[in-house]
Amino acid sequence: MDSAEREGLSPKGNVPTLRFPEFQGEWEKCKVSDLLDFYSTNSLSWDKLEYGTDAIQNLHYGLIHVGLPTMIDLNKDKLPNITNGNTPKNYELCQEGDIAFADASEDTNEVAKAVEFYKLNGKDVICGLHTIHGRDNQQKTVVGYKGYAFSSTAFHHQIRRIAQGTKIYSINSKNFSECYIGIPSKEEQKKIATLLRLIDERIATKNKIIDKLQSLIKGISSRIFASIQGIEYRLGDIATITNGDSNVQDAVTEPKEGMYPFFDRSEDVKYLPTFLFDKEAIIYPGEGTEFMPRYIKGKFALHQRCYAIFDFKDTVTAQFLYFYLKTQNFYFVRNAVGSTVPSLRLDTFQKLKVIIPPKIMQHKVSLCLSSMEQKCNAEKAILQLLLKQKQYLLRQMFI
């Protein structure tokens, strides 16, 4: 794959690499500053906002980063309302098809992250803190296209080159004179937008299924372990607990032949060409705001700020202990030390009290909970495929 294909640009000119076959001809390359008119926004902080009233709704930049889909549909999505007495004197109400960009982020990939007001459902909405509000007054684009065009890889490559800052990266509306997006015919825009919106709807549905399954597993686990009777042990007496020493700088994010899972304090599994352990083990992050275990059986590498529990005594099975520990997050959060980044010490693990029932009960509990977890993991795998499909299309279907 050459550089043009990686950027989503066909060697044939201003057309994307991937295209519906019924469309021909080059796209228009349009400066964003020529396409959009920009409107002033307010600087209301979260303490001036609340949910559930009939007041004007306000889009805070934090919701662009986390919480809202690319296409905002106020039939389904929720925005906060401005509290009494804090409505700005001058404002521009959003219209369907308007775009809002987040103007700042600690991550260059998140600067200028965009959402489009797809359906307002008759609601009055204005754009707030750290947002840039744009509108296509020339009507060169259809409602539903711009949000995806501004989410494309081609557009964000441009933003990364111009984003300013060291710890916090930012842009302003003047920067859009240095960026462009590709605009095909309105019929082609509609087809692209419809495809990506359908994928987004599947992603949203899959997330709801996963949330329901996780809630079900959590509820059933709590009831099971609240009623478990057995012998009390200290975790350090029934298993070996240690941290690792693998280097995160050598890790890659995609699995390849000859690579082994590498666990660090992040939720994402990385991969290394070497391994430290070949065990059935329970893995814990050593730092964070919550501490949830992972189960593995086989070869793996481990970061120094991550713990592995393995070599279990005959009194306990690894899977039962894994499910038991999933109910103990409150213990680890309460006993984490450090004011900046809460972290766990070895003795915190060793001192944890564990109730161990007879082996036959352990197997029954593990069988019940593992079957539900397998279902949840299968749904998560489908979700990851959908997300990869969307990213591929955002990379290949735009210029």
- Residue 115 CA to residue 64 CA, distance in Å, equals 7
Tell me: do 46 and 129 sit in the same domain: yes
In the prediction, which pLDDT does 168 show?
83
Same domain? For 273 and 336 the reply is yes
Is the same domain home to 114 and 237? no
Answer yes or no: is 218 within a domain.
no
The stretches in the chain having pLDDT less than 70 are: 1-12, 166
Please report the pLDDT score of residue 198 as a whole number: 97
177 shares a domain with 311: no
pLDDT of residue 106: 84
- Strands, E, within 3-122: which ranges? 28-31, 37-39, 49-50, 57-59, 71-73, 81-82, 99-102, 104-105, 114-119
Same domain, 267 and 335: yes
What gap in Å lies between CA 96 and CA 119, rounded to an integer? 6
* Long-range contacts from 69-72, C-beta under 8 angstroms, 24+ separation: 69/115, 69/200, 69/204, 70/114, 70/115, 70/116, 70/147, 70/148, 70/151, 70/196, 70/200, 71/115, 71/116, 71/118, 71/144, 71/147, 71/197, 71/200, 72/115, 72/116, 72/117, 72/118, 72/119
Q: Are residues 244 and 340 in the same domain?
A: yes
User: Considering the domain boundaries, does residue 208 fall inside one?
Assistant: no
Q: What is the DSSP letter of 21?
A: T
Alpha helices in the chain (DSSP H): 3-6, 32-35, 61-65, 146-149, 153-162, 186-227, 235-238, 318-325, 329-335, 346-351, 359-396
CATH number at residue 77: 3.90.220.20
Q: Give strand pairing partners of 104.
A: 170
Q: Is residue 22 part of a domain?
A: no
Q: Are residues 36 and 179 in the same domain?
A: yes
Q: Which of 183, 216, 239 corresponds to the end of one domain?
A: 183
Give which of 303, 295, 299, 298 is closest to 273, Cα–Cα: 299
Question: What is the per-residue pLDDT for 167?
Answer: 76
Whole-number pLDDT of residue 10: 53
Q: What is the pLDDT of residue 2?
A: 47
The pair of three-digit structure tokens given for residue 189, joined into one six-digit string: 């825009």
Give me the half-sphere count of Cα atoms (radius 13 Å) on the Cβ side of residue 42. Answer: 24
Count Cβ atoms below 10 Å from residue 317 Cβ, excluding itself: 17
Nearest to 137 by CA among 270, 39, 69, 264: 39
306-310 vs 71-73, strand pairing mode = unpaired
- Tell me the residue range of the domain where 87 lies: 28-183
Tell me the C-alpha distance between 280 and 274, whole Å: 17
Give yes or no: residues 104 and 170 share one domain: yes
What pLDDT shows up at residue 247? 77
Whether 204 is covered by a domain: the verdict is no
Q: Which position has the token pair 């279902």?
A: 375
**Residues 244 and 178 occupy one common structural domain:** no
CA distance readout (Å), 164 to 108, 112, 113, 168, 289: 9, 12, 15, 8, 30
Total number of domains constituting the chain: 2
pTM > 0.85: no
Question: Is 149 within 8 Å of 181 (Cβ atoms)?
Answer: yes
The two tokens of residue 380 are 């998560």
User: 315 in a domain, yes or no?
Assistant: yes
Look at residue 219 and tell me if it is in a domain: no
Please tell me the number of Cα atoms within 13 Å of 228 on its side-chain side: 28
Question: Quick check: is 164 in a domain?
Answer: yes
Q: Provide the sign of the torsion angle of the four alpha carbons 11, 15, 19, 23, taken in this order.
A: negative
Residue 162 has a pLDDT of 87
- 177 with 268, same domain: the answer is no
Kindly state the DSSP code that residue 27 receives in the 8-state scheme. Answer: P
How many H helices and E strands in the chain? 11, 21
CA proximity to 332, closest of 309, 303, 363: 309
